[in-house]
Amino acid sequence: MSRSNSVPATPFEATITDLSHDGRGVARVDGKALFVSGALLGEQVMVRLRKRHRHFDEAEVVEVITPSSHRVEPRCRHFAECSGCSLQHLDAEAQIAAKQRVLAENFERIGKVAPQQWLPPLTGEPWAYRRKGRLSVRHVLKKGRVLVGFREEANPRFVADIQQCEVLHPAIGPKVGLLAELINGLDAVDAIAQIEFAGGDDTMALVFRHLQPLGEGDLAALTAFGQQHGLAIYLQPGNNSSVHPLWPAQPRLAFRIASDDARFADVELEFEPLDFVQVNANMNQRMVAHAMALLDPQPTDRVLDLFCGLGNFTLPIARRVAEVVGVEGEHGLVQRAAQNAVRNGIDNATFHVANLFEDQRASDWARTPWDKVLLDPPRAGADQLLAYLPHRKTRRVVYVSCHPASLARDAGILVNQHGFTLASAGVMDMFPHTAHVESIALFER
């Protein structure tokens, strides 16, 4: 069809030929890519344009004419409105297959590599899994009340009007509407900017970011909410260092990583509510076990763990090897990782603070010929590190990735510049019902 620069109100028909990296259906109209929210691969749909761009357009589904065989009814009644999930309308098996296809395409297109073996996808419980995240808060005068939730799918400037969330931890998911009512009743109703939540094995913490001091009545209301619902309440009046508990006086956040080998004890990691932890506790347990199997740590091994955080991989590795060193850029995480080592009776793990996006080749840990290396970088990946690591004597690298494009790029570096083989790779469903692709890869000399 022919279109002008204006956005037509009349729906039109489109055939979905692909699924984008963010979970939207992809069609081509007059040779131009069209990204369609709510559409699935292979579907014939009626769509309405939302926005025009120079190289692509955006639209939403008005009617599904020919549905995909993998289409299911979303569990959450807020699915079409909320941006927290993008794939609840796609069955779980097809979701993970789509993520593995994204990883394979990135390996081929960016890294020019392919794994010798595809690992079976690592999956878990797809509902009520999320223990870490941030909820937006907005006092909407036109509605006469407060909204708490994630951003709207159609307009990220607005907060979706939701009452509960099916993917959040049970301690917080059913209470989103109650949080809105709580804040709506505060004197400082316009001062609460966001709520971060972080859950350990026994405690769920809420961190209220407030832009002005809270009065005694508001503090009492927040405390009462925490007591009634069994939640630890923290306040954040300024930057991250300003976070402090309101109730109870000394909450404890911790999670246990169970060993899958009876020869080695479990580890328990304490953390602060704004610390980075994997959002999916069950999948984190399985991921650590998966990484251990691929790394194959031996009693004589010396291992380097880069982007180590709280010691999520470092401490389980330490139980099995002669020595492990963890390196992380955030001082607070390194401090807590070292404390966690002491708390678990581990004396063969050492931690260092270093910006791993800067040249660290002069550091002692970077010059050491480690037997094995584990990498768990942020979305940017580790290409700066791979300019001087791993050492030529390193036999095995396990790479845990939250972004398939950076993993593919770095896989090309490890294979083509360092002489490794991409022995195996696979996806892990850390974020069910989203298009986020978590993956793991094994590189061997």
Active site residues: 402
Give the contacts of 357 (CB within 8 A, at least 6 positions apart).
329, 380, 384
CA 155 to CA 18: how far, in whole Å? 23
How far does CA 266 lie from the centroid of its chain? 24
CA-wise closest residue to 86 among 29, 36, 157: 36
56-66/32-37 β-pairing: parallel
List the beta bridge partners of residue 441. 399, 425
Give the contacts of 184 (CB within 8 A, at least 6 positions apart).
139, 145, 146
Residue 370 CA: distances (Å) to CA of 115, 289, 299, 443: 24, 21, 14, 14
- Which helix (H) or strand (E) segment holds residue 94: the answer is helix 92-106
Residue 297 identity: P
SS3 per residue for 241-262? HHCEEEECCCCCCEEEECCCCC
Tokens of 127: 């509902």
- Which helix (H) or strand (E) segment holds residue 415: the answer is helix 404-416
Residues 278/254, Cβ–Cβ less than 8 Å: no
